[in-house]
Amino acid sequence: MSSVIGDTASEELLEAAARQLEASGRYRVLRRLDLAACLADRDSSPTRLGMFLDIECTGLDPLTCEPIELAILPFEYRLDGAIVAIHPPFQQVNQPSAPIPPNITKITGINDEMVSGHHIDPATVANFVEDAAIIIAHNAAFDRPIAERISPAFIAKPWACTMSDVDWKSEGFEGRRLGELLAAFGVFFDAHRALDDCEAGVGLLAQKVPCSGRRVLEMLLETARKPCWRIFAIDAPYDARELLRQRGYRWNASPEFGPKSWWIDLGMKEVEPELQFLENEIFHRPISLPMEEMTAYDRYSIPMTRRALRQADSREHLASSVRP
Query: pLDDT digit string (tens) for 204-231?
Result: 999 999 999 999 999 999 999 999 999 9
Terminal Cα-to-Cα distance of the chain (whole angstroms): 45
The residues of the chain scoring below 70 in pLDDT are: 1-9, 304-323
The C-alpha angle 153, 193, 191, rounded to 5 degrees, equals 130
CA 168 to chain centre: 13
Looking at residue 16, what is its pLDDT? 86
